[in-house]
Each structure stands twice: as structure tokens, then as C-alpha cells.
Amino acid sequence: MTARSVGRTRGAVLTGAVWALVVTGTGVLTGCSENPDAGTNGVGKLPAATIQSKTRAAAASAGAVRLAGNVVTNGRTYTLDMRLKSGGATGSVTSKGEAFGLLRIGERLYLKADAGFWNHADGHADTSAAGKLDGKYVKVPQGDPSYRKFSGFTDKDVLLGGLLTLHGSLATDGHHEQAGTRTIRITGDKGSGGTLDVSLEGEPYPLRLQRAGGAGTLTFSAWDKDFALTEPQKDETVDYGRQLPAS
């Protein structure tokens, strides 16, 4: 082989390697004709409506999930970081700079916040009353208007059932990645009706949701990973009976 032919061969190899690197965006040289669905759960090859149906079913059957991000409803933004399962939930919610913790075990719902939250919620600066609630788990009575409002953040089926819906005509929008996991993205009305990234690895769980109309972005993780729910100690709990002072 002449020096010129060797040079041409090396140049061709280098060009092929650079092409593979550009196409894949990684240091793994897998070639330009790589099948993006190879080694996946196969949902990336399905119609968008079928993918949405499968991811909703997977989410419903999972024992637990962690949900984090922002939800905009009625003009108000809520920042959530919740772990949810059928028997209850635990986590935090922040809105308008006020943060509070939520804990639900079965039907028992507790709200935990500092004195500033209770002063703001009650609409006056009764520091003595707020001080008694500061850092305590306040049991929310089931008959109180706040129970339904706050428990909605702790109900896995209700929360996911309302969130995992795209609006308008469904379509797929290519292969993506979320937190190191390969995904297929589906959209409603080319994205104006929301987008949903669905895992291509293992169960087709939803991993990232961008809600329609700029109504928030959420990520989902720790699917089917159980977690403990611990009843607060008696000296950590305040039971106001029929109605919260903030109602």
C-alpha cells in the first residue's frame, strides 16, 4: 500500500468517526444508521395516543412516585416536591413565598408551617396563636374547607389523573433524554397543548411534563420506590378539632 493510499484510508476512518460523534452527540461511536429504539421498551415506535395511554396506565399501577416542579392554577403558582403513594404522601408546597409541609397517612392529613405562614393565612398578626402552631403538625379536620384543598396535593391518583393529559391533536416529537434516561416525547397541538417525555427504559413512566398554556413544568422520579410514612409524635401535633384558624 502506498503512502498516499494509507493517507486516504486514515482520512476516511477519521471522517466516519467524526460523523458518528456528531450524529449521536456522545463519545460512543455507534454509526450514522443507529436505530434510536434499539434496546428500548418499544413504545417509541407506537402512535402518540397509544403512548399516552400506556404511560397513564404505568403511572396508575406504580406503587409510588416523586413529583417536583411548578403548577399554575387559577393564576397562582405552586412549587411542589411531593412523594406520593396509595396510602398517603409527604412533602412540601410553596406559594407566594410561603412554604408548608404536608403529611397524609390514610385519612389523617397534617399541615406543618412556621409562625409567619399562620399569621399570613389568618389575616392578622396574632403572634401568640401563630407561635403555638409554629413548626407543629396541625391536624386538618376532614370537615374543614382546607382539607379538600390540601389533600389534593397528597392524592397520587387524583393528582396524576389530572396532570397527565395533553390537549389537542397528539403527535410524537422525537427522542430525548431526561436525567440520563432515554425518552420519547409526545405533544398536544405541536406543544401548545403540552408535552410529555415518556421513558424508553423499563416501564413507560412519564418523566417530564410541560403543561399547556405555560401552566407549569413537572418532573417525575423514584417510580415504584416505596417510602415510609411516620405518624408525628403527640408533642409535635396540634389538633384544632372542627376548623383550622386559617380557614
Residue 49 pLDDT class (50, 70, 90 cuts): very high
Q: Which of 15-19, 101-105, 191-195 has the lowest mean pLDDT?
A: 15-19
In DSSP notation, 11-64 reads HHHHHHHHHHHHHH-SS----TT--TTTTS-SGGGS-HHHHHHHHHHHHHH-SE
Give yes or no for residue 200 having a pLDDT over 60: yes
Share of the chain above pLDDT 90, in %: 65
For the chain, the straight-line distance linking the first and the last C-alpha, in angstroms and rounded, comes to 88
Give yes or no for residue 118 having a pLDDT over 60: yes
Mean of pLDDT values over 8-23: 41
Q: What is the pLDDT of residue 242?
A: 54
Give yes or no for residue 123 having a pLDDT over 90: no
Give yes or no for residue 5 having a pLDDT over 70: no
3-state SS class at 202:
coil
Q: Which of 29-33, 39-43, 233-237 has the lowest mean pLDDT?
A: 29-33
Q: What is the pLDDT of residue 243?
A: 55
Residue 97 pLDDT class (50, 70, 90 cuts): confident
